[in-house]
Structure 1
Amino acid sequence: PMCGTGTIAIEAAMIARNVAPGVNRNFASEKWPIIPENLWVDLRDDAFSREDYDKEVTIYASDIDEETVEVAKLNAKRAGVDEEIEFRCMNFLELENTIEKGCIVTNPPYGDRLLDEDAVERLYGLMGDIFQMRFPRWSYYIITSYENFEKTFGKKATKNRKLYNGGIKCHYYQYYGAR
């Protein structure tokens, strides 16, 4: 939910397929005379040979904004993982559980650009209610800069880590579900 332009879903699909980061782009170091040119070719060939397109991969990504979803679809196509991700334009309140176990990864609005503090508190409270009621055995991974997230979400995280997202101090809250 709240996938924005698709970064998390795209990275998840690439990890699931064992696609090496940056395999389809060029790097300035490719022109450095100290690195043999054939080394890059060999490394890319090795990376391509390790990709796995045989296993079943199911990733759902959604956002409430239709234009944003269209951008996410285009980004997934550019990354070569558009077939692994089912994008939907929908409110996260419409999320339904169709399998017993899984994980939800989201980077919801922090209240800096898109919502004010009251709206963020309502959003995070609803997230906590919906995730815990509809997805009780799932894991949740949530990135936010909101300092009172756990209290508002209604549950203490199994683990949390401090990180910076676009220069903003955030926490990565990890809620482990059933194995």
Structure 2
Amino acid sequence: MSLLPALTPARDIQLRAGHRELGEFSAHVVFSIYKMADFTFGYVTPKNLSNFCEELLQSTRLSCTVIIISLKYLQKYLDSRNAINFGVERTYLIAIILADKFHNDHRYSNQSWSEITEIPFKEINYMESTFLKCLNFQMYINGNECMDWINFLTEYIKAQQLLYFVPPRYIDSIKTDIQIISKLIIRHA
């Protein structure tokens, strides 16, 4: 069962953001989530993370919905008392893997993720298991929690528009996609 069970499958929704915009957006939000949870970034810069996300999304073609879910999973994971920081890229990767499995009914296997990312299969399994334990295996996000998250992301985008003289390139397309997803959730609630 998907996080957004009432949503039309991703292939039927005409969204605007491509892998570049989704990668840049997710990198910005991941860094914000890490800061709020008071976790360290290590050696990773926002640009490194943005490149990592863009390359990952280019090779996997994951939807905006999966990215929204993965960001929520990351936030919940980092807020848990037992979260382990595997590094910002790897920790977020596990959130993406779980979001993809949950929303897309297990689209890629861990072996596939290992090949895509060049992270050993056993490490992905261990990180995934740790992540799931920290969330008490609670992957479902109810409608209210989902709408709260959509509203948080909408406010985040508004803040980004005000913060930068030249806003990040993802702003318009992600803002539009989130509005479309929000309307679909409301319509099917």
| TM-score interval (norm. to shorter) | under 0.3
Q: Give the structure with the higher percent helix.
A: 2
Asked which structure has the greater CA Rg, the reply is 1
Structure with the higher strand share, 1 or 2 = 1
Which fold has the larger relative contact order, with Cα–Cα distance below 8 Å and residues 6 or more apart in sequence? 2
Q: TM-score, normalised by structure 1?
A: 0.26
